[in-house]
Amino acid sequence: MTEEKPSDKPEGKPEEAKPAPEPAEKPAAKPTAEKPAAPAVKPAAPAAHGAAAAPAEPPKPLEPGQFGQFLKEHGIQSTRLADSSRGVETILLDGDKLDAAMRLLRHSPEIALNYLVTVSGVDNTDSFDSVYVLWSYSNNNELIVKVRIKKSDVKEDGLPMVPSISPFWKAADWHERETFDLVGIRYLGHPYLRRILNPWDWEGYPLRKDYKQLVDALNDRNPHSMR
Amino acid sequence: MVTELTTSGLKTDEMIINMGPQHPATHGVLRLIVTLDGEIVKHTEPVLGHLHRAQEWQGQVRTWFQYQALIDRVDYLSGMFTSWALCRAAEDIDGTEVPEKAEWLRVLVSEMNRISSHLLWLGTYLIDLGAMFGFPFYPFRERDKLLTLFEEIAGQRMMFNYIRVGGVMREPKADWYKRVENFTKEFPDRVDEYEAIVTQNPIFLKRTKV
């Protein structure tokens, strides 16, 4: 009851005209004010901040293409694709090298891409991509790994096949199920590859380009519709 | 399968129980297929699809501007973030430059959205713990203030559609900033209030501490 008052007060009309320029300047002023402040704080408390700041300094953002280089040094060949629009390195791997490469990227301390943001699938017109987005909190790095399967290599009535990483990376479990459900990529070695979002008896893979919706939900041409 | 409980020596059979798709404590629509052995949950299979609305597919068959109205619904508690994600993607493709003021406004409203989302979490969490009346409404009180602020700039209390490709929908009035500022001033006191009422509450401690 008492706390309602402070929010009512500012509605007072006389003040309305005055603060107009203030908010406009405030957001603009912040970046200039904050940035010089940040370095000024650090030297002031060297003992407390020094330890925390030191590990953050050395692993600067890797140069572009460095993850591919790292994998190459460990005997895993990859192809570099065009960076994402925000400049994230994107590499293409062979399916049979995926397992070894992911373990390496996850566990080697200098790379430490140990956070799996997502696994998803893309239907290009002539191929399927299984996409893995990796993130490193300790190094502030990101990497996108793709495994590409040509549609000409997929058997008739078969699914494109990619080895699963969920046996050693639990986070991939549901993501792979979702990709299987929506894009129709079979993850070999997945412990429980079953549709996760669609009903279990759903036919087809909705995010494929050639997917035909059997029930036209938008225009309601389904004869069994209750509408 | 028959399993023997070491504690009581009682024999129990495994039982499969369907929980959901609606349950008062699930907040969203979730179905759990639970395998029980007596009172022990042996296995749970969550069935998630009840909330699936094929947002990706809908994005494929719509223009950016049509899709903007839908993207708020991906997470209805943080619509600002989801529209921001869409707008940034569209701006990346398009090469649109966003005015600096709009960028700051985006940060501001998203932070407010984050706070309101956390407040709803706190309130509903308390309801889940059994506090049906009283405390859950303390965080909702502040959340309502934020929603009123959102309503003023976006016309909506939840599905804002405020962040648009290339900027934001409209600039708030000067008075609005003043009220946001007032909110930031009074909010720390309110957090202290939640702390006093929640984290020192013996029932809350009993039900959350391991």
In 3D space, the residue among B137, B148, B146 whose CA is nearest the CA of residue B194 turns out to be B137
pLDDT band at B199 (very low <50, low <70, confident <90, very high): confident
Domain extent, residue A137, equals 66-188
Nearest chain B residue to A211 by CA: give it. Answer: B57
The answer to whether position A40 is within a domain reads no
Q: Which pair of structure tokens corresponds to residue A149?
A: 């399967």
B93 and A CB contact within 8 Å: yes
The answer to whether position A153 is within a domain reads yes
Which of A6, A85, A196 shows the shortest C-beta gap to B48?
A: A196
Task: State the ipTM, two decimals.
Answer: 0.75
CA–CA distance, B64 with B165 (Å, rounded to integer): 8
What is the model's pLDDT at position A187? Answer: 94
The answer to whether position A98 is within a domain reads yes
What is the model's pLDDT at position B201? Answer: 80
The answer to whether position A99 is within a domain reads yes
pLDDT band at B3 (very low <50, low <70, confident <90, very high): low
The answer to whether position A199 is within a domain reads no
Distance from CA of A142 to the nearest CA of B (A): 17
Q: Quick: pLDDT tens for A120-167.
A: 999 998 999 999 999 999 888 899 999 999 999 888 888 999 999 999
Q: Which domains does chain B have, with CATH numbers?
A: 2-51 (no CATH), 55-208 (1.10.645.10)
CA–CA distance, B5 with B182 (Å, rounded to integer): 59
CA–CA distance, A189 with A193 (Å, rounded to integer): 9
CA–CA distance, A78 with B94 (Å, rounded to integer): 30
Residues A177-204, mean pLDDT to the nearest whole number: 89
Distance from CA of A76 to the nearest CA of B (A): 32
Distance in Å from the first CA to the final CA of chain A: 48
pLDDT band at A224 (very low <50, low <70, confident <90, very high): low
Answer yes or no: is pLDDT of A227 > 80. no
Residues B16-38, mean pLDDT to the nearest whole number: 80
Q: Cβ–Cβ contacts within 10 Å for residue A122, how many?
A: 15
Number of domain units in chain A: 1
The answer to whether position A166 is within a domain reads yes
pLDDT band at B165 (very low <50, low <70, confident <90, very high): very high
What is the model's pLDDT at position A31? Answer: 41
What is the model's pLDDT at position A62? Answer: 54
Q: Which residues of B touch A22 (CB under 8 A)?
A: 174, 177
Q: Quick: pLDDT tens for B96-113.
A: 999 999 999 999 999 999
What is the model's pLDDT at position A39? Answer: 40
What is the model's pLDDT at position A6? Answer: 42
| Residue pairs spanning A and B at CB distance below 8 A | 66
The answer to whether position A182 is within a domain reads yes
Question: Average model confidence (pLDDT) for chain B?
Answer: 86
DSSP-derived pairing of the beta strands A115-123 and A89-93: unpaired
Provide, rounded to the nearest whole percent, the portion of chain A with pLDDT above 70: 66
- Give B 33-72 residues with CB within 8 A of chain A: 48-49, 52, 54, 56-57, 60
pLDDT band at B1 (very low <50, low <70, confident <90, very high): low
Residue, of A47 and B183, whose pLDDT is higher = B183
pTM of the model: 0.72
- The 8-class DSSP code of residue B62 comes to S
pLDDT band at B203 (very low <50, low <70, confident <90, very high): confident
Q: Which pair of structure tokens corresponds to residue B105?
A: 């406004």
The answer to whether position A29 is within a domain reads no
| Cβ-based interface (< 8 Å): residues of A facing B | 3, 6-7, 9-11, 15-20, 22-24, 26-28, 30, 85-86, 182, 195-199, 206-207
Domain of residue A150, CATH code: 3.30.460.80
